[in-house]
Structure 1
Amino acid sequence: MSGGWKRRLRGWWWKLPLLGIALSVAQVLLLRVVDPPLSAFMLARWGQAALEGDPGYRVRYDFRPLARISPQLPLAVIASEDQNFPRHHGFDFDAIEKAQAHNERMLARAERRGTPVRRLRGASTISQQTAKNLFLWQGSGPTRWLRKGLEVWYTVLIETLWPKRRILEMYVNIAEFGDGVYGAQAAARRFFGKDAQALSAAEAARLAAVLPSPKRYDAAHPGPYVQRRAQAIQGQMAALGGTGFLRTLE
């Protein structure tokens, strides 16, 4: 019996990767037309709160179609996070090279001065962040490298199977703008007491400004860093041509 069981297991082993590929493709195809009830990051945060003994924790999340979100917010996140979003196919290799050069300078400067490293630059595209937040986990150590490999795969899938507008729509709905505050509508209600459709350019820029560290910064009560960053983002929004820039995603 044991020998037969082992033979059957060996017979299925090579099929498991194919099953994983098929399931991930089906997942992405489904979410092209179905709005997700939650994301992997939301589930992980719920689990963390439960482990920390916080039964009152809740996620604020209310998916809204892009047409019901002020165009200022998608423009702000593109200006802040990924200005080549309409043109790349999921990965911005020029941005990766620039980020590596910047980070090497920051590391060398910190080493010379004997001070902590400040503000290393990332180069993840909106597509990569959508793939990670929706399907995967943050990870550390070996699991982080596994996640990065899966992130590449899911990024390729969503870039292949979704239009750019769907990727952007998904991102502005699942991005974390504060602890437990996910997406444009929840953030607009939580920080500005209004509907996402009514966000101004300045409010959208403040939301985009906190994205690198949403648990550290507060869009409703921005400190000097968030204020400076939001002003810079508004300048970039204007430089891109305002909300008319979003027509390049059609």
Structure 2
Amino acid sequence: MPVIKKGSRTKIRRTILYAPAPVNRLEGLKSAGKGPNYHRLNGESRGRVSFHAGKVDLRIVKILLVALAVVILAPYVIAPFYRTGHPVSTLMAWRSLRGAPMQREWIDLAAMSPYLPRAVVAAEDAHFCKHHGIDWGALREAIDDAQEDGTPFRGASTITQQVAKNLFLWQGRDFVRKALEFPLALWIDLVLPKPRILEIYLNIAELGPQGQFGVGAASAYAFGKSAAALSPREAALLASILPNPVKRSAKTPGPGVRRLAGTYVARAQASSLATCWRENR
């Protein structure tokens, strides 16, 4: 590399090779930086010198890949332990961290009004007891409808998929979340019994406009009573505000919610609705 006299204006486009160490001083240049292998100098002796690292530290890449693998695999390790306990959703945890209102009163499936699980299954996932986490038939229909209408794909999420999303993933609609949700729903259906999946869903679903989660808090807010004492109509009203309890209200239902509730009452009482949980009669 040629010697550059102080005060001269000479263009530089060379490579400095050296053992890994800080670049402390280059005669006639203002310089600073570190490099694992080499630096390239571009500029003039009187201007600034830009340093470009020539090699990415593979250790950082490995650490990031390991961290990503841990985040993706953690739900598969945690899910079997949810056979017992009172798990919370990611949205519940986020609201608590932000100091936002959050109410949840856990109630066991056996203690709920028998009309509640029937109404929610009739509304959200009529084949809940028959599929293994994903309703492939409903999924194909939703895709076909989206293609025919030219609208974005939506719907066909099973209760198990919603449990996977609520427990381990984030809200919103995007391809990445769906890609993670599908295998996780299959795994949850494999390691948790159907009644437990339904019980978790009924206790973590958002069911009120002011941070009410689960049927316990929702029943107290909307009807001023326990979830054990709900009538078929009240149970259907709660099912009708899913999945948007902020815009829909079971406490002061509009015409659309009342119409849905009537439909769900009929579906819940139909003998064709399959049940896979012990009903509280």
Q: What's the TM-score, normalizing by structure 1? A: 0.79
Spell out the pairing of 1:1-250 with structure 2 (5 A cutoff): 6=57, 19-20=70-71, 23-36=74-87, 38-46=88-96, 50=98, 57-107=100-150, 122-139=155-172, 144-179=174-209, 180-240=211-271, 245-246=274-275, 248-249=276-277
Q: Which sections of structure 1, spanning at least 5 residues, go unmatched?
A: 109-116
Q: Larger helix proportion, structure 1 or 2?
A: 1
Higher relative contact order (CA 8 A, sep 6+): 1
Q: How many residues align?
A: 225
Residues 208-228 of structure 1: per-residue CA shift (max 9 Å, x gap)? 001032110110111110011
| 2:207 match: secondary structure | strand
1:76–1:237 CA contact under 8 A, matched in 2: yes
Counterpart Cα distance in 2 of 1:19 and 1:218? 39
**Which residue of the partner structure matches residue 113 of structure 1?**
none
Amino acid in structure 2 at the alignment position of 1:64: I
Counterpart Cα distance in 1 of 2:178 and 2:256? 29
Q: What's the TM-score, normalizing by structure 2? A: 0.71
Amino acid in structure 2 at the alignment position of 1:40: T
| Cα drift, residue 19 of structure 1 | 4.0
Q: Which sections of structure 2, spanning at least 5 residues, go unmatched?
A: 1-19, 21-35, 38-55
Query: What is the Cα-based RMSD across aligned positions, in Å?
Result: 2.8
| 2:143 match: secondary structure | helix
Identical aligned pairs, as a percentage?
Answer: 38
2:170–2:177 CA contact under 8 A, matched in 1: yes
2:95–2:101 CA contact under 8 A, matched in 1: no
Residues 118-146 of structure 1: per-residue CA shift (max 9 Å, x gap)? xx861000000111011111146xxx322
Q: Which has the larger radius of gyration?
A: 2
Amino acid in structure 2 at the alignment position of 1:24: P
When residues 103 and 7 of structure 1 are mapped into structure 2, their CA distance, relative to the original with a 3 A threshold, is: closer
1:42–1:59 CA contact under 8 A, matched in 2: yes
| Cα drift, residue 175 of structure 1 | 0.7
